[in-house]
């Protein structure tokens, strides 16, 4: 009978160790899931900010091009410098 009690105690100790390991692994999994969620949110924020920057850059590029075109035509009227080019084109 003492052999059965010894085996039962070993099994119980082994079971407790597995339970502790499972609990530890679940905590690690929960922590990793929380971190993944946080990283996902940060990624979404960065993507939105990047899209906004790209839109701002495109707007500024268009505005700069319009300003440059107007300024360049005022500084260098093509008709005066290249009168034949306009006729040939």
pTM for the model: 0.52
Taking CA atoms, 63 is separated from 6, 56, 71, in Å, by 85, 10, 12
For residue 49, pLDDT beyond 70: yes
Q: How confident is the model at residue 56 (pLDDT cuts 50, 70, 90)?
A: very high
For residue 33, pLDDT beyond 70: yes
For residue 13, pLDDT beyond 90: no
Q: How confident is the model at residue 45 (pLDDT cuts 50, 70, 90)?
A: very high
Element (H, E) at 68: helix 2-75
Residue span of the structural domain in which 57 resides: 2-88
> Considering its fold, how many domains does the chain have in total?
1
């Amino acid at each position: 009978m003492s052999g059965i009690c010894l085996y039962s105690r070993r099994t119980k100790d082994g079971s407790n160790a597995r339970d502790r390991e499972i609990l530890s692994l679940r905590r690690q999994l929960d922590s990793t899931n929380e971190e993944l969620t946080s990283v996902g949110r940060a990624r979404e924020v960065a993507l939105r900010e990047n899209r906004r920057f790209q839109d701002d850059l495109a707007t500024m590029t268009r505005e700069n091009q319009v300003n440059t075109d107007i300024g360049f035509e005022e500084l260098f009227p093509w008709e005066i410098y290249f009168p034949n080019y306009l006729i040939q084109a």
